[in-house]
Amino acid sequence: MSTPALMNWSGGKDSALALYHALRDPALRVTDLLTSINAHYGRVSMHGVRIALLEEQARRIGLPLTRLELPEMPDMAEYEQLMRATLAPLQAQGIERAIFGDIYLEDLRRYREQQLAQVGLQAVFPLWQRPNAELLREYLGLGFRAVVVCVNEKYLDQSFCGRELNAEFLRDLPPGVDSCGENGEYHTFVFDAPYFSHPIPFRRGEIVRRTYAAPASSAAVCPPAADETDAAPSPFDTGFWYCDLLPVEGSSLE
């Protein structure tokens, strides 16, 4: 008998590939998507993608979407409290597992497992410790398509932002950059997947640079969206380039 599970859906390539495997796992029955949202700006946390595009992903997957709505820069206690409150109604519906697209960050996995254990949920990691090259070959071979919506300028310059994640993009990555972006080098928005009913239309908008203070913990990293106003920079600020994705005129996203 399959176990009801929710997918922690970022909208990017890793969660998309993890969902592909979860949907094919006879031990799991994926019933819901869960996404962290910057509630003040109406964007996906970290990625800066508009909620309208996130909702189009959920519509094409055919699963209900639950939003974990976060303030601009939550501390860990606030994040954990909001997460528990968001999970409670899903657990009441029978959810027992939570699926993640993490690949090899041990500290983050341990944090997720500890937090979920406190509320009686079990974490599932379909991509865990699989080699980068293998994952990317599979991703491209299955027909996933994504656009790079955010890059960390510590690793990549502006020219990488707004590009499609494909073989050419991967060839152009500088030495030392994780090809899957597992250290936060880049984030993506998936606009086509094997389980989408049809691709998502969009057009590339403005590319902007934003700076944010370093978070106290990697588990709470939630840079604001691309259209936010910068605070005064400090020597410890990190710069990010964002490519805003816009609905195609006349599409169902309008």
Question: How much is the pLDDT for 73?
Answer: 78
| Three-class secondary structure of residue 2 per DSSP | coil
pTM value is 0.89
Domain annotation covers residue 133? no
Shared domain check, 110 and 29? yes
Shared domain check, 164 and 95? no
Shared domain check, 97 and 169? no
Question: How much is the pLDDT for 249?
Answer: 65
Domain annotation covers residue 230? yes
Shared domain check, 52 and 23? yes
Q: How many domains does the chain divide into?
A: 2
Shared domain check, 48 and 116? yes
Q: For position 224, which CATH number holds?
A: 3.90.1490
Domain annotation covers residue 140? no
Question: How much is the pLDDT for 213?
Answer: 66
Q: For position 64, which CATH number holds?
A: 3.40.50.620
**69: CB partners within 8 A, 6+ apart:** 37, 39, 82, 86
HSE-up (13 A, CA, CB side) for residue 206? 6
Beta strand 202-212 with 238-247 is antiparallel
Q: Would you tell me the crossing angle of helices 13-24 and 132-141 to the nearest 10 degrees?
A: 80
Which letter does DSSP use for residue 180 in this model?
T
What's phi and psi for 22, nearest 5 deg? -65, -40
Asked whether the beta carbons of 14 and 103 are under 8 A apart, the reply is yes
| Structural domain containing residue 229 | 145-247
Domain annotation covers residue 139? no
Shared domain check, 29 and 101? yes
Question: What tokens were used for 156?
Answer: 């990549």
Domain annotation covers residue 254? no
Question: What tokens were used for 219?
Answer: 């588990």
Across the beta sheet with 186-192, the strand order is: 186-192, 145-152, 238-247, 202-212
Shared domain check, 164 and 97? no
Question: How much is the pLDDT for 45?
Answer: 87
Shared domain check, 156 and 52? no
Which of 124, 159, 190 finishes a domain? 124
Q: Which parts of the chain register pLDDT below 50?
A: 215-236, 251-254
Shared domain check, 97 and 10? yes
**134: CB partners within 8 A, 6+ apart:** none
Domain annotation covers residue 158? yes
Question: How much is the pLDDT for 174?
Answer: 97
Domain annotation covers residue 134? no
Domain annotation covers residue 66? yes
Question: How much is the pLDDT for 166?
Answer: 98
Question: How much is the pLDDT for 74?
Answer: 81
Asked whether the beta carbons of 253 and 229 are under 8 A apart, the reply is no
Measure CA of the first residue to CA of the last residue in the chain; give whole Å. 41
The whole-angstrom separation of Cα 109 and Cα 129 is 11
Residues listed for the chain: 254
